[in-house]
Structure 1
Amino acid sequence: MHRNSYSLAALAAAAVPGLVPVRTSTIATPAEDLDVAGVVAEDGRRLMVLSPSTTASGVRLERDLRIADALTGTPLRTVIPPVLGYVKLPEGGRCAVTEAPVGRPLMLDDLQDSTEAARSLGQVLARIHTVPRYAAEAAGVESYTPETLHARHRARIDRVHAAGHLPAAVAQRWEGLLSDAGLWDFAPQFVHGDLSEECLFVSGHRISAVRDWSSSTVGDPAADLAWLVSSLDPERFDELYAAYREELPTDSHPRLMERAQALGEFAVAEWLEHGLEVEDEVIVADARGMIADLDADLAQLARDEAERAYDEMSAREDG
């Protein structure tokens, strides 16, 4: 069942001994089946209350907090708000109370407008990707081999292509990416798995908190970079990526950025497939529009390449 901020404050008081709520605020969350509120206590503490409204959201919340708890023993502890208490819900499951994330939700413009914010996120991503595999797996995180992940991408692209949704140029490009064995030869690492503006907080120009670890896996680190490489201006992403590489204790995969770009493109096929499965014409139209944009970009690249080849041939003939 859904709960308003006042009900969530009462649950917080039951979960945390001595807590006296004096003010509440609603907090946006991308999950419709998770109720979240901010609470200010009488002693000035700021907390966040999370209450699942379905069995599925309860499972996700438990997984999220179990993984987050495991990460408090890593360098990520500075960006993970600690859990302060739980209380059982009458319908089953538990409501959780954590310290409120410091700062405010990150907006993409924060990264576009600030080199410091972009570099800070790059550093946090590097710390995520260097979490020891044993620590992640001890928290119940699933592990995937490069072969398994590649097969998933292949199957999705094949399904969308077979259904007639891919222009020839896009299908050819994606086939070329999937056939490039060196691109997919990487060492699996711990990844957040669902990075977005909703799960990141910023204070000043620094990343102050990372939320929602329920989609975390040991898999392809490019998955956490795909959203950013497709959303940020190239110059700003290069700054983020430079900070990421500086923070890593070892060299990154030499083609990590290429793979992130590929996954950013493949995400369009995933979005289209989702729209088709749920029969949502708005999603389908949005995905088809993005595929059309990619097709136009590829056509322009082909024209530019043809012009360069012609200019080079003319220069040789003139010489």
Structure 2
Amino acid sequence: MHRNSYSLAALAAAAVPGLVPVRTTPIATPTEDLDVAGVVGEQGRRVMVLSPSSTASGVRLEKDLKVADALTGTPLHGVIPPVLGFVKLSEGGRAAVTEAPVGRPLMLEDLQESPDLARSMGQVLARIHTVPRYAAEAAGVESFTPEALLAEHRERVLEAKEGGHLPAAVAQRWEALLEDEELWHVTPQFIHGDLSEESMFHAEERISALRDWSSSRVADAATDLAWLISTLEPERFDELYAAYRQELPTEVHPRLVERAQALGEFAVAEWLAHGLETGDESIVSDARGMIADLDADLAQLARDEAERTYDALSSRDEQP
């Protein structure tokens, strides 16, 4: 069941001894079945309360908190709000209260406008991807082999193609990417798995908090970069990626950025499948529009390449 801000404040008071709520503030969440609010106490203390409104969201919340707890012993501890308490819900499950994230929710415009913030994002991503596997396994996250990851991508693209949703040029590009064996030489690493504006906070030109670890797993580091490379301006992404590489203790795969770009494209097929499965025509229309845009981009690239080839041949023929 969903709860309003007053009910969430009451849950916070029950979970945290001595907390007397004065007011609440809404906080966006990536999922519709998780109620989240910021609560300000009498002495100005700020906490965040998270209450699942379904069994599925309760399972995700428990995984989120278990992973976050496992990460408190890693270099990420400074960006993970600590849990302050729990309270049982009448319908089953429990709500959780954490310290309020420092700063304010991150918007893409913030990253676009701030080189320092982009570099901080790159540093935090590197720290995520260097979390030891034993810490991830202690939190019970799933681990995927490179073969399993590639099979998942193949299935996603095949479904879109067989459903008649892919123009020929897009289908050919995606199939060529999937056949490029070197591109998919992945060393699985711990990843967040579902980065979004709702999962990050920032303050003073740095990433100050990360939340929602329910999709974390040991998989392809390119997954966490895919969203950023597909949304940020190239110059800003380059700054983020340079900071990412500098923070890592080891060299990255030489084609990591290329793979992230591919995963960003494949995500459109996943978005389309989600829209079709849920019968949400707005999602289906959005995904089809993105596929059409990619098709147009590929057509323009083909024209540009043809013009370059023609110019080169013409120049050679004109030479004495």
TM range (shorter): over 0.9
Residues 76-131 of structure 1 show CA distances to partners (whole Å, capped at 9, x for unaligned) of 00100000011111111111000000000000000110100100000000000000
Q: Determine the structure 2 residue equivalent to 1:63.
A: 63
Q: CA deviation at 1:43?
A: 2.3
Counterparts of 1:21 and 1:296, CA distance in 2: 54
% same residue: 78
Q: What is the aligned partner in structure 2 of residue 46 from structure 1? A: 46
Task: Name 1:162's counterpart in structure 2.
Answer: 162
Tell me what 1:264 maps to. 264
Structure 1 Cα separation of the partners of residues 305 and 178 of structure 2: 23
Q: How many residues align?
A: 319
For residue 114 of structure 2, what is the amino acid of its counterpart?
A: S
Task: Answer yes or no: is the 8 Å Cα contact 2:30–2:199 preserved in 1.
Answer: no
TM-score (norm 2): 0.98
The residue number in structure 2 matching 1:6 is 6
CA distance in 2, matches of 1:223, 1:161: 22
In the alignment, which residue of structure 2 is the partner of 1:178? Answer: 178
Alignment of 1:126 with 2:126, yes or no, is: yes
Q: Which runs of 4+ in 1 moved over 3 A?
A: none
What is residue 77 of structure 1 aligned with on the other side?
77
2:240 corresponding residue in structure 1: 240
**Partners in 2 of 1:169 and 1:245 — Cα distance?**
33
- How is 1:1-319 mapped onto 2 (pairs within 5 angstroms)? 1-319=1-319
- Cα distance in 2 for partners of 1:26, 1:299 equals 44
Q: Deviations over 1:166-215 (max 9, x none)?
A: 11110110000000000001100000000000101010210000010000
Task: Report the 3-state secondary structure (helix = DSSP H, G, I; strand = E; otherwise coil) of the residue aligned with 2:190.
Answer: strand
Take 1:153 and 1:81, find their aligned partners in 2: how far apart are those partners? 33
Unaligned ranges ≥5, structure 1:
none
The residue type equivalent to 1:30 in the other structure is P
Mapped partners of 1:2, 1:279: distance in 2: 23
Judge conservation of contact 2:68–2:80 (CA < 8 Å) in 1. yes
SS in 2 for 1:201: strand
What one-letter code is carried by the residue in structure 2 that aligns with 1:268?
V
Q: Separation in 2 of the partners of 1:165 and 1:50? A: 38
Quote the Cα distance in structure 2 between the aligned partners of 1:163 and 1:44.
55
Which AA in structure 1 matches 2:299?
A
Residue 30 (structure 1) shift: 2.5
SS at match of 2:38: strand
CA distance in 2, matches of 1:3, 1:280: 25
Structure 2 unaligned regions, length at least 5:
none
Query: Match of 1:38, SS?
Result: strand
Task: Specify the code of the residue in structure 1 equivalent to 2:63.
Answer: R
Shift of 1:283: 1.3
CA distance in 1 between counterparts of 2:128 and 2:279 reads: 36
